[in-house]
A and B are shown apart, each in its own frame.
Chain A
Amino acid sequence: MTFNEFAEQVQQIVQTTGPISSESKLVNDLGLDSLAISELVVGLVVELRIDSLLDDAETRDWTQTTVGDLYDRWRQATAA
Chain B
Amino acid sequence: MTSKESTTPEIFPESFETRHLSLGPVGHTHFRELQTAELAAETAPRWRYRGATPSPERWAAGLSAEVAVQYVVSLKQSGRALGLVVLYGADPDCCFIHLGALRFQAGRFSPMLLVGTACVIDMALAEGRFRKLYLELPEYNLDQFGSGLRGALYEEARLPDHYFYAGATWAQVWLSITSDAWRSRNRRFLAMERQEEIAGQ
Residues of A within 8 A of B (CB): 13-15, 31-39, 41-43, 45-47, 54, 57-59, 62
Contacts and interface: CB of A to CB of B under 8 A. Distances in A.
A36 B77 CA distance: 23
Given A34-B109, A62-B111, A42 B189 contact: yes
A36 B112 CA distance: 12
Contacts of B114: 34-35, 38
Interface of B: 19-20, 75, 77, 80, 82, 105, 108-112, 114-115, 118, 143-148, 186, 188-189, 192-193, 195
Contact of B145 (A14, A35, A42, A57): A35
Main secondary structure of the interface of A (DSSP, over half): helix
B135 to A, nearest CB: 12
B192 A46 contact: yes
Residue of A13, A15, A33, A41 ringed by the most chain B CB atoms within 10 A: A33
A43 B189 contact: yes
A56 B134 CA distance: 31
B189 A39 contact: yes
B109 to A, nearest CB: 6
Nearest to B103: A58
